[in-house]
């Protein structure tokens, strides 16, 4: 069983706590995967714009900064 610290006392999780914890882990993993995909898509879109303009990210920063 998974251990939990309950006000300074280490104990095994109850079945309900364990089920909640596992559900939370699935949600957290799905959110992390979605964020990673969003980050990758954003980076790819940014690079596509830079490629179309024929400039580097440093040059774009200088132009916009």
Residue keyed to tokens 């995967």: 33
Mean pLDDT (the chain, rounded): 96
Name the band, by pLDDT with cuts 50, 70 and 90, for residue 65.
confident
Q: Are 2 and 13 in contact (CB under 8 A)?
A: yes
**Does the predicted TM-score (pTM) go above 0.75?**
no
Q: Are 21 and 13 in contact (CB under 8 A)?
A: yes
């Amino acid at each position: 069983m998974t251990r939990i610290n309950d006000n300074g006392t280490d104990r095994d999780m109850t079945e309900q706590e364990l089920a909640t914890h596992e559900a939370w882990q699935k949600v957290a993993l799905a959110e992390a995967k979605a964020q990673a995909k969003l980050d990758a898509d954003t980076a790819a879109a940014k690079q596509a714009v830079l490629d179309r303009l024929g400039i580097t990210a440093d040059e774009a920063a200088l132009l916009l900064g």
